[in-house]
Structure formats: structure tokens, C-alpha cells
């Protein structure tokens, strides 16, 4: 009997050891799994697209778990804190390279050595690719882009008996139309502007008038931010407000005001286009007007993906970045325009009448935005944006407001 029990115990022990061994063998892939952290500012639908790309990358790399971290509106604070504690995400959305470049990995060597990456970078629109450089080095790869156009309400143009604006129109055409489309008594206006946060977008107006907010070498504000060309471009809009052809609204009501059907024209990117459709608006899009004898210039919005300099997963992070910006990733993402020429051609997005002007403005986006010309542009920009807001709200004149912004901001230029 004892011998029988002893035999049973041995069998059970051997079985336990066998099951344990099998269990450990089955678990080994998980024990070897690597986690890659990816941070984004997106939420909602845009976040879902990014999660879909992450899952697809995991399928292609079974040993990898991509941890998608959505920081939403607290993005900058959380990214800055993560750099400060030396615990940043491996890969992250980025645009503000002058602020964070010292914590990011320069990609130039990776790009030079990787033939697969070379084919991707050659497919990028060059001016979009250049938006992700600072002081000559690439710190990110673009995931998409948005330019800015004029949206116009066809119904209001029809009611006023006015032809729709077309490519090649001028600011004189714009002013004339805005005046005829306005009826303050009915709270109807030809154009709408935001109370604040205008400086980045306003660069395209200043560029189109032959000016700039800062010198090309990033060392001088005087004679640029307060040049006659800059003052004229800003005054153009304050004059529209003064004569009742335009209205200023709070920033969070900006796009909603166009949906009301009481605003004839608004300047914006691609973001509200689908919302305008859902609101049942009959609208069109057109490139920006031109100043007399001067070429139209466009500003580009472009998010990029960057790698933290302190990442411990460099090779994996680089593979994820390449996949994220590849044609496969680009076809999944929505909400912006493809930064790859091949994807734009395949999807025929540039042939859509409503989207075509965005690509037209991309061709005109050959200027370098001010934030890429000075490491402390954020501080300078606060003064500039305040000056523009003061002019639009009728609290100051462009001459005085811009001269004051330069005077206050020179302290940052002098420390460069």
C-alpha cells in the first residue's frame, strides 16, 4: 500500500513538473515582451486611428506591446515633466522642436543609414519634411499636414448676387465681397476672426505681403515684426472690423460661428470641414487672396513623431516611427492631409474640390515659420499675439501695438 501511494506521489510530482515546464515555455514570449511607450495629444477619433496603427505594429512584432498614452490638453506639461525626470515616452507626437530638441534624438544618422527610411523621406513633400528640422537637424518625421484656406458660404454669396471667389483673387476682391455680404442689423458678417491665438496663422498674411515676424537668421525683430508690411497685413483685418465687414468672436466660438449661416467667410484648416458638412452648409473652399503684385504664401501645420534621446529602446522606437509614417500608417490616419505624395496620389485627395485648395496652399508654403527660427519664440509669441488681439479688439493701433511687442521681446532676441 505504501509502495502504491509512493508511486502515485511520484507520478503527481512528475506531472506537476511537466505542466510547470510547459506553462513556463508557453509564457516565455510574454516574459520576453518589450513595452514601447508612445505619447500623443490626440483624443477621440484621432486617438482611435493611432491605437489601430499601434495594434497593427504589434501584430507584425508579436514581442512588442505599444503603450499608447493620451495626454490630451495637458500634453506639454506632461512631456516636459517626463523629460525632467528622465522617464519620457520612447516615441511621441511633437511640433515644438525649439523647446524640446535637446531632449530629442536627432534622426539624421538614422535616416542616412536606413535605406527603407530613405524611400519614405523621398516621398514626403519637401516643405513639410523641413518643418520638422531645427538648426539643421531632423528631430521628427511628419505624420500629416494641414494648410489654411478661405471657406465661403455659397448661399450667402448667391443671395448677394456675388460670384464665388476663385484662385487668383485679391484682397481688394475679398474686402469688396466682405462689405457686400455684411448686414450688421441681421448679425450677418462677411468674415470672422478669433479674439486671440492668431499669430501663427497670421504669418501667411504677413508673408504674402512681403513681410516676416523675425529675420531669416532668427536674430532680429526690429524692422520685421513691426515692419510696414506686417503692420499693413494686421491693419487689413482691423479695418474690416471697423467698417462692419467682419466680427471678432471668442476663440471657442470661432468655427461654430460659421455653422450659424450668418458668416460668409472664415479662414481655417481642414479640421472643421466635415463638421461644416454635417451642419448642412453649402460651402466651398479657395486659396488665400493676394496682395497687389505679390505671391500668396501659406503656413503649414504639421505634427511629427520624435524619439526621446533617453529611450532604452532605440532600435524598436525607430522601427515604430518608420511604420507610423509609412504608407500603411498614413492610410489609417484621418483628420489631416497625407504628407506622403504617393498616398495623396493614390487616394486622389487632392482632386476633391473642397480639398484641392489645401494642396494649392501647400505649394505656396515655402517660408520658415518663426518658431523654427528662435529657441525662445514661445516667449516672444506671447507679446506678438497680445499685440494682434489688441488691434483686432480695437484697443490699439497696429503701429503702436507691434512696436511695443518688439520693444518688450527684444530681451529674448538679445540672449540668443
165-203 residue pLDDT tens: 999 999 999 999 999 999 999 999 999 999 999 999 999
What are the sequence ranges of the domains in the chain? 36-146+301-359, 149-299+376-414
**CB neighbour list of residue 99: distance below 8 Å, 6 or more residues apart:** 375, 378
* Residues 264, 28: Cα–Cα separation, whole Å: 63
Domain 149-299+376-414, what fold? D-Maltodextrin-Binding Protein; domain 2 (3.40.190)
Query: What integer pLDDT is reported at residue 119 of this predicted model?
Result: 86
Q: Which cell is 233 given?
A: 497685413
In tens, the pLDDT along 403-415 reads 999 999 999 986 5
Q: What pLDDT is attached to residue 92? A: 98
Among residues 290, 264, 267, 287, the alpha carbon closest in space to that of 171 is found at 290
Kindly give the parts of the chain with pLDDT less than 70.
Answer: 1-31, 414-416
Which strands, in side-by-side order, build the sheet including 141-142? Answer: 64-70, 34-40, 91-94, 304-307, 141-142
Topology of the domain comprising 36-146+301-359: D-Maltodextrin-Binding Protein; domain 2 (3.40.190)
Residue corresponding to grid cell 503603450: 67
State the Cα–Cα distance between residues 187 and 163, nearest whole angstrom: 22
Average pLDDT of every residue of the chain: 91
- State the pLDDT at residue 415: 52
Asked if the domains 36-146+301-359 and 149-299+376-414 are classified in one and the same CATH topology, the answer is yes
Residue 313: phi and psi, rounded to 5, are -125, 50
Supply the pLDDT for residue 31: 59
> What angle do helix axes 228-242 and 398-414 make, rounded to 10 degrees?
140
With contact defined as beta carbons under 8 Å apart, do 373 and 216 qualify? Answer: yes
Residue 40: predicted pLDDT:
97
Distance in Å from the first CA to the final CA of the chain: 91
Amino acid at each position: 500500500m505504501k509502495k502504491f501511494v509512493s508511486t502515485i506521489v511520484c507520478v503527481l510530482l512528475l506531472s506537476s513538473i511537466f505542466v510547470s515546464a510547459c506553462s513556463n515555455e508557453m509564457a516565455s514570449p510574454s516574459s520576453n515582451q518589450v513595452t514601447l511607450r508612445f505619447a500623443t495629444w490626440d483624443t477621440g477619433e484621432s486617438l482611435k486611428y493611432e491605437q489601430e496603427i499601434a495594434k497593427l505594429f504589434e501584430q507584425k512584432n508579436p514581442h512588442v506591446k505599444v503603450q499608447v498614452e493620451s495626454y490630451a490638453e495637458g500634453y506639454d506639461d506632461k512631456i516636459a515633466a517626463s523629460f525632467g525626470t528622465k522617464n519620457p515616452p520612447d516615441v511621441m507626437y511633437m511640433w515644438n522642436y525649439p523647446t524640446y530638441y535637446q531632449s530629442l534624438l536627432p534622426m539624421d544618422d538614422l535616416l542616412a543609414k536606413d535605406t527603407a527610411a530613405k524611400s519614405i523621406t523621398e516621398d514626403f513633400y519637401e516643405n513639410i519634411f523641413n518643418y520638422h528640422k531645427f538648426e539643421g537637424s531632423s528631430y521628427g518625421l511628419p505624420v500629416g499636414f494641414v494648410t489654411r484656406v478661405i471657406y465661403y458660404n455659397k448661399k450667402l454669396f448667391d443671395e448677394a448676387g456675388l460670384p464665388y471667389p476663385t484662385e487668383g483673387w485679391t484682397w481688394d476682391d475679398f474686402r469688396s465681397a466682405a462689405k457686400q455680404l455684411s448686414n450688421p442689423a441681421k448679425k450677418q458678417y462677411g468674415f470672422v476672426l478669433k479674439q486671440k491665438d492668431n499669430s501663427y496663422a497670421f504669418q501667411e498674411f504677413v508673408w504674402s505681403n512681403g513681410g516676416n515676424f523675425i529675420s531669416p537668421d532668427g536674430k532680429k525683430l526690429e524692422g520685421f515684426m513691426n515692419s510696414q508690411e506686417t503692420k499693413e497685413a494686421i491693419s487689413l483685418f482691423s479695418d474690416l472690423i471697423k467698417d462692419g465687414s467682419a466680427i471678432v468672436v471668442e476663440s471657442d466660438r470661432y468655427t461654430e460661428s460659421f455653422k450659424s449661416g450668418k458668416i460668409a467667410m472664415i479662414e481655417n484648416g481642414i479640421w472643421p470641414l466635415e463638421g461644416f458638412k454635417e451642419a448642412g452648409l453649402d460651402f466651398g473652399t479657395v486659396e488665400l487672396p493676394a496682395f497687389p503684385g505679390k505671391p500668396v504664401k501659406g503656413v503649414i501645420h504639421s505634427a511629427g513623431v520624435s524619439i526621446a534621446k533617453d529611450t532604452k529602446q532605440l532600435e524598436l522606437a525607430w522601427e515604430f516611427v518608420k511604420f507610423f509614417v509609412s504608407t500603411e500608417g498614413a492610410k489609417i490616419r484621418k483628420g489631416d492631409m497625407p504628407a506622403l505624395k504617393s498616398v495623396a496620389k493614390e487616394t486622389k485627395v487632392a482632386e476633391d474640390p473642397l480639398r484641392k485648395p489645401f494642396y494649392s496652399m501647400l505649394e505656396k508654403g515655402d517660408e520658415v515659420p518663426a518658431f523654427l527660427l528662435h529657441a525662445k519664440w514661445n516667449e516672444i509669441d506671447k507679446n506678438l499675439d497680445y499685440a494682434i488681439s489688441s488691434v483686432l479688439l480695437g484697443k490699439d493701433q497696429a503701429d503702436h501695438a507691434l512696436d511695443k511687442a518688439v520693444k518688450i521681446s527684444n530681451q529674448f532676441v538679445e540672449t540668443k
